[in-house]
Copies of this chain bind each other. A is one copy, B any other.
Amino acid sequence: MAVPGRLASVYSELQTSRLDVSLPLPSVLKKSFNVVDGPPSSAAGNPEEIAKLFPNLFGQPSAKFVPGDSGESAGKTLRIGVVLSGGQAPGGHNVISGMFDYLQERTSGSTMFGFMGGPAGIMNCKYVELSSQFVYPYRNQGGFDMIRSGRDKIETPEQFKQAEETAKKLDLDGLVVIGGDDSNTNACLLAENFRGKNVKTRVIGCPKTIDGDLKSKEVPTSFGFDTACKIYAEMIGNVMTDARSTGKYYHFVRLMGRAASHITLECSLQTHPNITIIGEEVAAKKQTLKSVTDYITDIICKRSEQGFNYGVILIPEGLIDFIPEVQQLISELNEILAHDVVDEAGAWKKKLRSQSMELFEFLPQAIQEQLLLERDPHGNVQVAKIETEKMLIEMVETELDKRHREGKYNGQFKGQSHFFGYEGRCGLPTNFDSNYCYALGYAAGALLHSGKTGLISSVGNLSAPVEEWTVGGTALTSLMDVERRHGKFKPVIKKAMVELEGAPFKKFQSMRDDWALKNRYVCPGPVQFIGPTANDINYTLKLELGVQA
């Protein structure tokens, strides 16, 4: 079987130096342990519907590893598969390394398969058998290129059938699905399916996404978020120093993160920009594009009065999706463009409702074009591709011109746009993500070894030294609610959005007015692997864990 390119590549000195860094384990995983089950679980919402959808798994307790001497599994060898699902996140390779090392150390003689290219690899039975030699070069390295990833889903009866065939063909005892909310939902459906059909293969999930929107009480964070935020914050801090040195640019920085604004909020806490737009707040306050523009423009005017004609503004990737009037416009556009051709004369526009038409006309031309052209294969607008940062620059410029003519603003405004996305998804994982992922993977191996299924690997107490981290598994069904689609209930792990009552937002809220007018810029600098800052964890996690006020 062809093996992807990592082995053909050349390592930098830093990559090489990271290879042999030893990965600490939580102390409970270092010796023999027992699994203790908690009380029966429920669901995040609509438990009776979840119970119907998962008759074999609903109500499973959380599992917790505690020191002990359970000999029950001793001597058992396992055949385990692993798959990476969805977008890259730093640390994925360490989850696999952790699983691999668990099997090596605790179930000698076991076999591990890496399914290639995401869930499609399971369905098509495309895999590579993992060996020490194969896994080793990926330790502490970024990317998902060891076995690559994919966005296919296993959700139809035919697809379940294919997965079952692979599970039987390889005689799999277990499968670990490393993915985001959707992938973990599907992992649970697969676990339910296998259990229902008496297939022995158990399924364990792992919380992956740089977006930070897969988390719960027992799963304090998704891996990759820490690294991605630190990489973006390095760049933002640099741009801030540049803004202050040059004194003449407003940098509009759009940050990856899909629907949720966790990345933007975390980067804001790390760097103290003058303005940060949090999508969840925009939605809660039912703000319009005009009111967001005015909010930015007001601060720019006040700063100008203080002599500052520069600044840094953070914008979440998903911003326009949070603005009710824009959602309305986009949904009308999707509807119209599914049937109509965009004629030069603009006859199609007349089908827009008057409010939407007004908004459309209010948008800069480039954005109008993006709304018409950037469409996915289903004909829907690809919101993530809309260059919101450029749109806001243009809209702010227009508003400033107006105020200038009215004698209300007399500054200079030059906007510079940035989008930080791909740069952060595949960076070398921070020490935190390296260690967290290794523990997640090791725990996933242990959960499968204990016969668990339908759980997501859960590592907690993350603000303490690694030795003191808690380890266990959480029932995936306990994270679920249902959504009604096409008249049917569909299980979903609800995306964890930024909570306006949560500690990270509260902290930001208490400081943003100060940051707006004073220049409290912080330059976090590049991620360090050695030295006094090497083991820092991100603010979101610290604040949510209550270890920082």
Contact = CB atoms under 8 A, between A and B. Distances in A.
Given A246-B88, A526-B428, A241 B13 contact: no
Interface string A417-458: 010001111111000000000000000000000000000000
A12 B424 CA distance: 20
A27 interface: no
Interface string A241-257: 11011110101000000
A528 interface: yes
Given A238-B422, A239-B423, A251-B422, A524 B148 contact: no
B518 A8 contact: yes
A423 B235 contact: yes
A362 interface: no
A524 B12 contact: yes
B245 A143 contact: yes
A536 B520 CA distance: 32
Nearest to A521: B9
B239 A426 contact: yes
Given A5-B519, A234-B526, A241 B426 contact: yes
A522 B148 contact: no
Given A9-B522, A11-B522, A242 B422 contact: yes
A395 B4 CA distance: 30
A231 interface: yes
B238 A142 contact: yes
Interface in A269-287: 270, 272
Contacts of A22: none
A17 B526 contact: no
Contacts of A423: 235, 238-239, 418
A424 B238 contact: yes
Contacts of A8: 518-520
Contacts of A117: 247
A523 B428 contact: yes
A237 interface: yes
B416 A422 contact: yes
A38 interface: no
A88 B244 CA distance: 11
Contacts of A527: 526
A140 to B, nearest CB: 10
A522 B524 CA distance: 24
Contacts of A10: 272, 520-522
Contacts of A6: 244
Nearest to A515: B10
A272 to B, nearest CB: 7
Interface string A14-50: 1101100000000000000000000000000000000
A71 interface: no
A249 B422 CA distance: 11
A521 B524 CA distance: 27
B526 A148 contact: no
A351 to B, nearest CB: 27
A347 interface: no
Contacts of A528: 14, 526, 528-530
A218 interface: no
Contact of A14 (B246, B426, B525): B525
A531 interface: yes
Closest 7 CB pairs of A and B: A526-B526, A143-B241, A241-B426, A14-B525, A242-B426, A144-B245, A530-B531
8 contacts: A9-B519, A13-B533, A14-B526, A141-B241, A235-B235, A239-B422, A240-B426, A427-B525
Given A4-B244, A15-B523, A238-B422, 18 more contacts: A9-B520, A12-B533, A13-B532, A14-B525, A17-B531, A17-B533, A142-B238, A143-B241, A144-B245, A145-B241, A148-B245, A148-B247, A231-B526, A238-B427, A239-B426, A249-B422, A526-B528, A528-B528
